Amino acid sequence: MSKIILRTVLIVLVAAFGYGIYYAWSAFPIISSYSAKTMCSCVMLNGRQPDDITSNELSTFPLSLVSVSASFTDSSATGSVFGFAKRKAIYRKGLGCTLINEITEEELRAQQFSLATPPAAHTDTISWPMGDLVPEYSPSAIDMEKINATVEAAFEYPNERRTRAILIIHDGQIIAEKYAEGFDKNSRHMGWSMTKSVMNALIGILVRQEKLTLNAPAPIEAWKNDSRSAITLHHLLQASSGLQWEENYGGPSDATNMLFKKRDAGEYASMAPLLHEPGKIFYYSSGTSNMISWIARKTIGDSVYHRLPYEQLFYPLGMYSMVMEPDAGGTFVASSFSYATARDWARFGMLFLNDGYWSSGRILPEGWVEYSTTPAKGAEQGEYGAQFWLNAGAPGNSINRKYPSVPTDLFWADGYEGQNVFVLPSENLVVVKLSQSTGNFLDDDKFLADIIRALPD
């Protein structure tokens, strides 16, 4: 009996050891890549110090296992776990940071793209919202004492909640703005999945230009002769493609492999098999967002694609800080990688508040915001539209929703660790909240409700 027990224990130990080796082999490259990419973008795009990134963005387990450093000599960052799974990200002007995945560094640095030229704008001399010259604005009808107290409360628990920026826009004017120590109006903040909502706007522009059609089959060559040919751009935008996908960031998965191991995120995601009939099941998927970006690039070509966000969206709105970062193949990682100041995130929210219209004219198609905020089929709680989250609630039951204390017309861009651009048309309100939260998370329902209560009836 003792021999059987010993043999069983040995088998279990060997199996556990084998699984540990397998997991390390799969996971170490992901956390090395995540750390290198984060370090590169925070340092090279935002001018922060490497030690600050290590103490904040990369301080939690398992990221704390990574040794990561930044090099100003070649504008890069490198990470490894106990000396293994070494990964590198490089910075290129106009493109931000890119992980070296399934490509040599020489090939990546040799890539040439047609990039937009930023206009020569002195934003501090241009009035808000096109510029950063903000007039004194404190209308008596707003309870500014309540607003200020609500904003101050959002910055509590600085070691866990890590709120970095709050910006409140009412009737087009900034009524409150606050930054954590070390950040200001010029600091860029990672958007994470708010990038999906930015991609929504870019697709809207291409639809308006009649270069893409929502309800036509998605133009992916590999899908033409199989069941995936029924998937449309509309299905992808509403995350209801029916494709098999694992959106899990706790370890190796479709999502983490795509972002941190693959050269071409959209192409990798497009290889997924069909699991459900398109348009029936909602499943939040970063893969579909990157397929959308990949489709846009293939449709309009490289002579236009890398300039499109800047010339057609960012610069017309005065969003001069915004950077969308590409994968190693050169396609924007539309699921996750963008940076902008709080004010530029607010400008983006204002575009959607204003139904896609700006002072320079219409940017998004007429009806695009309504389309974007229509609940996806299969989203049973009415929680998702086209790359935006919704507070609509289930059909016929608006009580069962994400933010029960906030009106049902609220919609928002949402990113990892507490990045949000909240848009509330009924209150003519845009609220930007940017953070790097790891605990004591802000109660967004109360936060937004407190702001609304301070506004005029």
pLDDT in tens, 245-273: 999 999 899 999 999 999 999 999 999 99
Query: Rounded to an integer, what distance in angstroms lies between the CA atom of residue 421 and that of residue 419?
Result: 7
Question: What is d(CA 44, CA 361) in angstroms, rounded to the nearest whole number?
Answer: 34
Q: Which two tokens stand for residue 62?
A: 């398992």
Please indicate, yes or no, whether residues 382 and 302 belong to a single structural domain of this protein.
Answer: yes
* Span 145-189, pLDDT tens digits: 999 999 999 999 999 999 999 999 999 999 999 999 999 999 999
Sorting pLDDT into bands at 50, 70 and 90, what band is 224?
very high
In a shared domain, residues 247 and 393: yes
Are both 67 and 192 inside the same structural domain?
A: no
Q: What is the pLDDT of residue 24?
A: 57
pLDDT of 396 reads 64
DSSP per-residue string spanning 230-277: G-BHHHHHTT---B------SSSSHHHHHHHH-S-HHHHHHTPPB-S-
pTM for the whole thing?
A: 0.95
Tell me the CA distances in angstroms from 246 to 127, 284, 350, 422, one per residue in order: 45, 9, 33, 27
- 106 with 163, same domain? no
**Per-residue pLDDT averaged across 210-225, rounded?**
96
Tell me, yes or no, whether 278 and 156 share the same domain.
yes
- Specify whether 382 is located in the same domain as 317: yes
**pLDDT, tens digit (0-9, with 9 covering 90-100), for 274-329:** 999 999 999 999 999 999 999 999 999 999 999 999 999 999 999 999 999 999 99
pLDDT at 399: 65
Closest alpha carbon to 455 in 431, 423, 429:
429
Closest by CA to 42, choosing from 30, 53, 34, 31, is: 53
Evaluate whether residue 48 is within a structural domain: yes
Residue 321 and residue 444 share a domain: yes
Distances (CA, A) of 168 to 147, 176, 187, 427, 434: 9, 5, 17, 12, 12
Nearest to 375 by CA among 396, 356, 357: 396
> Binning pLDDT at 50, 70 and 90, where does residue 31 land?
very high
Q: What is the mean pLDDT of residues 394-413?
A: 86
Cα dist. 426→152, 379, 383 in Å? 25, 23, 18
| pLDDT score, position 4 | 66
Judged on CB neighbours under 10 Å (0-12, 13-18, 19+), 186 is middle
User: What per-residue string of b and e applies to 98-109 under the rule 16 or more CB within 10 Å gives b?
Assistant: bbbbebeeeebe
Residue 354 and residue 401 in one domain: yes
Nearest Cα neighbor of 160 from 446, 445, 441, 443 is 441
* Residue 133 counted as domain residue: no
Q: Is the predicted pLDDT of residue 18 greater than 70, yes or no?
A: no
Mean pLDDT, residues 373-395 = 91
Instruction: Taking each helix axis as running N to C, give the angle between helix 194-208 and helix 286-300, from 0 to 180 degrees, rounded to the nearest 10.
Output: 30
Task: Quote the CA–CA distance of 390 and 25 in Å, as a whole number.
Answer: 39
Q: Is 93 exposed, middle or buried (0-12, 13-18, 19+ CB in 10 A)?
A: exposed
User: Can you give the residue range of the structural domain that contains 223?
Assistant: 144-453
How many domains does the structure of the chain reveal?
Answer: 2
In a domain, 137, yes or no: no
Mean pLDDT of 37-57: 97
Residue 140, pLDDT > 80, answer no
Does residue 413 sit within a domain? yes
Residue 135, domain member (yes or no): no
- 128 falls within a domain: no
* Whether residue 15 has pLDDT greater than 80: no
Q: Clarify whether residues 102 and 150 are in a common domain.
A: no
- 317 and 391 inside one domain: yes
How many other C-beta atoms are found inside a 10 Å radius of the C-beta of residue 148? 14
CATH code, domain carrying 208: 3.40.710.10
